[in-house]
Amino acid sequence: MNALNERISEIGVVPVIKLNHPERDAAGLAKALCAGGVPVAEVTFRAPGADRAIRLMKETCPDMLVGAGTVTNIEQIDKVIEAGGQFIVSPGFDPELVQYAQGKNIPIFPGCTTASEYHQALKYDLEVLKFFPAEQSGGLAKIKALSAPFPMFKVMPTGGISLKNLKEYLSCPVIAACGGSYMVTADLIDNNKWDEITELCKKSREIVEEARA
Ligand code: 3PG
């Protein structure tokens, strides 16, 4: 795997974040994630201003890996690059987005959950696919089934992942890392519960270590 994928895989979990108030919350959140041993964030465009949040998180924790999620158009890719974002995640597979991101030299994790989408992904230089929404699409059983004809891909499942099923997912060698919002819920962010976020990150990292021991 390339260096970015290796790093994400080593961390093992990717917080999927919706930040309604970037100026108020981005710095505190970045510090809380890093303190918990999870120096990575997928900041989604489900809230406008994701690019501002990315910039602020990178300014606060320059060594942190910060990318964008829920990217659905090329204008957002431009904004992410401008803000210093390091990767793009899209919920589905859109060849135009994949080509555009690759043309701009920013890694992209497009969402794929069917054999047809994996087929599409074969046409591009992709090592890791987002598998979204994971639990609702068949979960680990489907990921394993798809890995038989498509062993070249690792996946980053998101959707329905929590501390309860994290170990099961991470124990499967097809999984590069798991994404989730359980450690960065709206309640935790809006109420600035940074210590709780750090604790959830630490617990997640312990599970990553256990799963890979
Ligand atoms: C995503 O966008 O990756 C998912 O919505 C995260 O899913 P979760 O909220 O169930 O963790």
DSSP codes, 14-62 = EEEE--S-HHHHHHHHHHHHHHTT--EEEEETTSTTHHHHHHHHHHH-T
Q: Which residues are catalytic?
A: 42, 130
78 φ, ψ (degrees, to nearest 5)? -60, -45
Question: Distance (Å, rounded) from C-alpha 76 to C-alpha 125?
Answer: 21
Closest ligand 1 atom number to CA of residue 91: 2
Q: How many A from CA of 77 to the centre of ligand 1?
A: 20
Q: Which two tokens stand for residue 56?
A: 């602020």
Would you write out the chain's pLDDT as a tens digit for each of its 213 residues? 899 999 999 999 999 999 999 999 999 999 999 999 999 999 999 999 999 999 999 999 999 999 999 999 999 999 999 999 999 999 999 999 999 999 999 999 999 999 999 999 999 999 999 999 999 999 999 999 999 999 999 999 999 999 999 999 999 999 999 999 999 999 999 999 999 999 999 999 999 999 998
Other Cβ atoms less than 10 A from the Cβ of 16: the count is 24
Topology adopted by domain 3-211: TIM Barrel (3.20.20)
HSE toward the beta carbon, residue 12, CA cutoff 13 A: 25
Q: How many A from CA of 16 to the centre of ligand 1?
A: 6
